[in-house]
């Protein structure tokens, strides 16, 4: 398994992993019909954009040259963020690879990079009912910082919890 920085050429593969991972991770948390209609072309163009943004750092995990996961980090987007606070925007793997240490490797690589870039803390937002991800983050040293928020997606309101850890 290789963890490496993502390049623009990875946009299509990352978009496909993004959709497939959402469909599995959120199958009991978001409406099935909406998850079944996630538009690959729009995800690809969004990733083409993101991979050219200088503030966001993206890594991919490859197994035998196939991209099976990605992570994205950068500066915190929260209004109440303290100085030197980064954010883990996303970490998603194909479900066939869950539980094999790849998420941990992606997370460690991303946090190492943030530390090298001078950040001191990192936060993330996770659906309150995404228990697997919460357990994973807790295992990686993150703690719930008491802050929650809600947002609307696919015509339903979801609650999110914020986690933090020092780098
Ligand atoms: C969350 C996710 C990235 C974790 O990656 P992963 O490769 O499955 O996790 P790992 O195998 O690297 O696990 C790392 C450690 O966390 C622990 N862990 C992971 N999931 C766990 C769970 N559900 N319960 C308890 N411990 C868990 C592992 O046991 C492992 O412990 P170890 O270091 O002692 O061996 C991956 O499962 C995924 O893509 N899930 C769907 C997408 C998602 O929900 N992303 C987060 C959105 S906010």
| Distance from the alpha carbon of residue 57 to the mean position of ligand 1, in angstroms | 21
Q: In the prediction, which pLDDT does 67 show?
A: 98
Report the C-alpha gap between 150 and 114 in whole angstroms: 27
Residues of the chain with pLDDT under 70: none
Angle among Cα 151, 76, 101 to the nearest 5 degrees reads: 85
| Distance from the alpha carbon of residue 100 to the mean position of ligand 1, in angstroms | 8
Tell me the backbone φ, ψ of residue 63, rounded to 5 degrees.
-120, 115
Considering the entire predicted model, what is its pTM? 0.97
Report the C-alpha gap between 34 and 62 in whole angstroms: 28
Q: Going from the N-terminus, what domains does the chain have, and what CATH number goes with each?
A: 2-166 (3.40.630.30)
Q: Which of 60, 92, 139, 151 for a ligand 1 pocket mutation test, highest count of atoms within 8 Å of Cβ?
A: 139
Q: In the prediction, which pLDDT does 107 show?
A: 98
What DSSP designation does 77 have?
-
Q: In the prediction, which pLDDT does 63 show?
A: 97
pLDDT per residue over 85-118, tens digit each? 999 999 999 999 999 999 999 999 999 999 999 9
Q: Does residue 64 come out as left (phi exceeding 0), alpha (psi in the -120 to 50 range) or beta?
A: left
- Give just the sign of the alpha carbon dihedral 154, 30, 60, 121: positive
Q: In the prediction, which pLDDT does 20 show?
A: 98
Q: Which residues line ligand 1 (CB under 6 A)?
A: 21, 25, 91-93, 98-104, 126, 130, 132-133, 135-136, 139
């Amino acid at each position: 398994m290789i963890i490496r920085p993502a390049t623009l050429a990875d946009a299509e593969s990352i978009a496909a992993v993004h959709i497939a991972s959402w469909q599995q991770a959120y199958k009991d948390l978001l409406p099935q019909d909406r998850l079944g209609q996630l538009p690959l072309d729009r995800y690809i163009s969004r990733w083409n954009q993101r991979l050219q943004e200088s503030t966001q750092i993206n890594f991919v995990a490859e197994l035998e040259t196939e991209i099976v996961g990605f992570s994205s980090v950068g500066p915190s987007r929260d209004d109440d963020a303290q100085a030197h606070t980064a954010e883990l925007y996303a970490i998603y793997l194909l479900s066939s690879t869950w539980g094999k240490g790849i998420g941990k490797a992606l997370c460690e690589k991303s946090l190492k990079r943030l530390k090298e870039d001078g950040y001191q803390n990192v936060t993330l937002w996770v659906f309150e009912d995404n228990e697997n991800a919460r357990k994973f983050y807790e295992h990686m040293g993150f703690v719930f910082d008491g802050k929650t928020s809600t947002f609307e997606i696919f015509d339903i309101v979801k609650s999110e919890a914020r986690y933090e850890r020092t780098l």
